[in-house]
Amino acid sequence: MFGNLFKKKEKVSEAEQTIVQKVNLRKEKVAVELRKKNITSKKARIVFVLDHSGSFRWAYNDGTIQNITERLFPMAMQMDDNGEMEMFLFDDGYKEFSPVTISNLDEYVNNYLIKQGGHYGGTNYEPVITQITKRYGKKDKSTIPTFVIFITDGNNADKRASEKAIQEASKYNIFWKFVGAGQASFSFLEKLDNIGGRVVDNANFIKINDLNAITDEELYSRLLEEYNDWLNACRTKNIVVD
């Protein structure tokens, strides 16, 4: 009896050790990219905002979302002030989930996003942008910048409201990295990358045709593009970024 208990415990320990090893290897890759780009603020609150529309359902079911979650989490471990990655889903509205941690990373998508995510709806950006701005720009504001990784597979239905939300968000130390996943056209995100009416240029857009095919090195490099430019722009406008 006791022998079986110990064997079971050893198996769990081995699984946890494997997860930690993978995270540590990727953390070093993040660190390399931070050095390459001479990022002047090494700490950031990492927030993952993820499309939960009907057209993206397949990515939850085939393991793509679990895979990208595991690859983004090391950014939080390397950069975040508390070693957690905040998680939001959006469709017509938004929903916040328990943060991703080293202890729940394995099977996070199955245990949280699939079981608790609810229906797969339409695509509205503004509600979640506004909520994150209120949370990290006002309610839980910090001198440590917030780095939002926002992944979607298509354009939204609330374009004007989203423009206003990003313009409002530009007053705060929140950087928005918009990622278009797949082969669709992302004309609105390209526009959002360059709209006027902002205190600083607080958003950058990249397109990734296949989230599973991109290497870790390229993923981290592309995610960090323009981040240092934003940090410097904040300082010129007296937006504090420690």
Residue 30 lies in a domain: yes
pLDDT exceeds cutoff 50 at 8: no
Q: Which helix (H) or strand (E) holds 21?
A: helix 2-36
- CATH classification of the domain holding 132: 3.40.50.410
How far is residue 209 from each of residues 64, 150, 169, 223, measured CA to CA in Å? 13, 15, 28, 14
> How many Å is the Cα radius of gyration of the chain?
18
* Beta carbons of 74 and 105 less than 8 angstroms apart: no
- Give the list of residues 6+ apart from residue 135 with CB closer than 8 angstroms, or none: none
State the pLDDT at residue 80.
87
State the pLDDT at residue 60.
98
- Tokens of residue 80, six digits: 């975040």
For the stretch 56-78, pLDDT in tens is 999 999 999 999 999 999 999 99
In degrees, rounded to 5, the angle at the alpha carbon of residue 232 between the alpha carbons of residues 231 and 234 is 65
For the stretch 93-112, pLDDT in tens is 999 999 999 999 999 999 99
Confidence band for 178, pLDDT divided at 50, 70 and 90? very high
Q: What is the mean pLDDT of the chain?
A: 93
Residue 109 lies in a domain: yes
Beta-carbon neighbour count of residue 155 at 10 Å? 16
Residue 32 lies in a domain: yes
Residue 242 lies in a domain: no
Residue 110 lies in a domain: yes
Give the strand order in the sheet containing 174-181.
94-100, 85-90, 45-51, 146-152, 174-181, 203-208
Q: pTM of the predicted model, to two decimals?
A: 0.93
Grouping H, G, I as helix, E, B as strand and the rest as coil, residue 179 is strand
Confidence band for 6, pLDDT divided at 50, 70 and 90? very low
State the pLDDT at residue 26.
97
pLDDT average, residue stretch 159-176: 98
Tokens 């949280």 -> residue: 112
- Tokens of residue 230, six digits: 């934003």
Q: How many structural domains are present in the chain?
A: 1
pLDDT exceeds cutoff 90 at 11: no
Beta-carbon neighbour count of residue 38 at 10 Å? 7
Residue 241 lies in a domain: no
State the pLDDT at residue 3.
44
State the pLDDT at residue 83.
86
Residue 127 lies in a domain: yes
For the stretch 189-235, pLDDT in tens is 999 999 999 999 999 999 999 999 999 999 999 999 999 999 999 99
Range of the domain at 187: 2-236
